[in-house]
Structure 1
Amino acid sequence: MACVLIVKTGDAYPEVVAEHGDFETLFSHQLSTALPAHLTLDVWDTRRHSTPPALDTLAGIVITGSHSMVSDAEPWSEALKPWLKAALESDVPMLGVCYGHQLMAAAFGGVSDYHPGGRESGTHGVELTQAGRQDPLFGQLPERFVAHLSHAQTVVQAPEGATILACNGHDAHQALCYGPRQWSVQFHPEFTPAVMRAYIARQRAALRDQHESPDALAADVAPAPEAASLLQRFLGFV
């Protein structure tokens, strides 16, 4: 039986794991509601198991976020790049999230590094580009929707040939498309409002350092159903 593989690239904060589950659990909760009966969900922790699954056994790939930084070029992360390029060449459906977004962009020839404007945290608006409005995955979303965000690094330079699908005032690369069934997003469709608030609480000092109010950001956290719907909709392409 083919599987949709959740590629685990990091762990959530311990208090998030204790109350809501780790990254792979957050993704599983969203994906399992729309998973076709002939598919399974599996998890591959790339930091602990270096041998990747064979691509011909996979119906799709979802890459999680991480507290690591792509620009640190950790060996386990760098080892993923040729595997991701092979998956793209084989037209395996892929969806990268946050770290997964930055890693896919770097693997395909772009540049990911610290955002010059600092950290973006909280529930913020995201707007589709004209290409996004015509994209088969994103085109059913409203032109403007809210999404949960928590990142210090970003895609500084998109790969040649990538299409920008969504942006906002902080980040020009909120969503990218690399092929007919390969996408990545900077925001977190797997986050719930409670998880988003927990991330803001953990980042209070860093947010104050860049002159943002953690309390105001927490008060503005809201449900983000349109962003979350991307995970279930992605399964339509596997």
Structure 2
Amino acid sequence: MSRIAIVLCDDLGRRISSEFATYEALYADFLTLAAPGECEFSIFRARDGELPHNISEFDAVLVGGSRAGVYEPHEWIPPLLNMIRTAIQNKVTTLGICFGHQAIAAALGAEVAPSINGWNLATQTYECRGLGGSPDVEQLSLIAFHQDQVHTVPEGTSRYLTSAGCEIAGLVGENIFTMQPHPEFTPDVTSAILNASRGDRFSESEIDDAIARLESTLSATRASELFWLAIQAKGKNTSPVAVTSTTE
């Protein structure tokens, strides 16, 4: 049985959670899409000061998404970054999605900041390359919902995922695997989040355009398989998946 700590860094809001699912349910459902066996999930809420006391008890830790910026002065972010560094030092597979991707990069010294091109919303096409030592390019269709991006590749990792709107959309290294997009998001959940943002962060036309670009066919199962390749590599003196550098 794989023991996985899910570190929540936000919530979906009461209405969306009651209508669809909570963040923890979305992450658990995503990871079990390609789970090779039984999983035991432990939930921690970083914004409430909840973090694993003994990270070495887990096979992996997943750091989830957030509306916050990793560079913002929230009291809960420095302890989260320290936990990430501790997990990596203790060879616990450290996974990140969206904000989690950015937090892991920041914990390793990378620059994270808003994109000069603004928001990446709805379904995006990503190029996945360098995994398994293969030069072949694999296309992944996943949902994006972010403005902040990782702008430099941290030491000890390589970029394996990129898109037209996000150059560093995924990092891989020894005991590290991250994705900027939200492989756990479904079109229905994303549509609800977008609609809840009308008149707040986005204009009516921006929301309508993003919803129109949501696609029903996504690469969630393939993304789950990639996360499990990382989890299954725990304890080995190699990176989760063989990497061909794509940092140039």
Q: TM-score, normalised by structure 1?
A: 0.85
Q: Higher mean Cα deviation, 188-197 or 27-36? A: 27-36
Q: Partner of 2:69 in structure 1?
A: 69
Picking from 207, 215, 225, the partner of 1:214 is 207
Shift of 1:56: 1.9
Cα distance in 1, alignment partners of residues 197 and 137 from structure 2: 30
CA RMSD across the alignment:
2.5
Cα distance in 1, alignment partners of residues 207 and 213 from structure 2: 10
Q: Higher mean Cα deviation, 200-209 or 60-69? A: 200-209
Shift of 1:228: 4.3
Asked if the contact 1:150/1:199 (under 8 Å) is kept, the reply is: no
Cα distance in 2, alignment partners of residues 164 and 34 from structure 1: 23
Asked if the contact 2:177/2:230 (under 8 Å) is kept, the reply is: no
1:101 aligns with 2:97: no
Asked if the contact 1:125/1:146 (under 8 Å) is kept, the reply is: yes
1:81 aligns with 2:104: no
Cα distance in 2, alignment partners of residues 236 and 145 from structure 1: 16
Q: Partner of 2:119 in structure 1?
A: 119
Q: Partner of 1:197 in structure 2?
A: 191
Q: Per-residue displacement from partner, 1:11-55 (whole Å, max 9, x unpaired)?
A: 113332111112111011222344455541111111224453312
- Using a 3 Å threshold, how does the CA distance of structure 1 residues 126 and 18 change in structure 2: closer, same or farther? same
1:225 aligns with 2:221: no
Asked if the contact 2:45/2:51 (under 8 Å) is kept, the reply is: no
Cα distance in 2, alignment partners of residues 12 and 174 from structure 1: 22
- Using a 3 Å threshold, how does the CA distance of structure 1 residues 17 and 109 change in structure 2: closer, same or farther? same
Q: Per-residue displacement from partner, 1:104-137 (whole Å, max 9, x unpaired)?
A: 1100010112111111111111112xxxx3314x
Asked if the contact 1:122/1:200 (under 8 Å) is kept, the reply is: no
Q: Partner of 2:241 in structure 1?
A: none
Asked if the contact 1:11/1:67 (under 8 Å) is kept, the reply is: no
Q: How does 1:104-183 map to 2 (within 5 A)?
A: 104-128=104-128, 133-136=129-132, 143-177=138-172, 179-183=173-177
- Using a 3 Å threshold, how does the CA distance of structure 1 residues 146 and 13 change in structure 2: closer, same or farther? same
Shift of 1:79: 0.7
Query: Which structure has greater helix proportion?
Result: 1
Cα distance in 1, alignment partners of residues 162 and 36 from structure 2: 31
Shift of 1:203: 3.3
Q: TM-score, normalised by structure 2?
A: 0.82
Cα distance in 2, alignment partners of residues 119 and 74 from structure 1: 22
The letter for the 2-side match of 1:231 is: S
- Using a 3 Å threshold, how does the CA distance of structure 1 residues 118 and 228 change in structure 2: closer, same or farther? farther
Cα distance in 2, alignment partners of residues 51 and 146 from structure 1: 32
- How many pairs are equivalent? 230
Moved over 6 A (4+): none
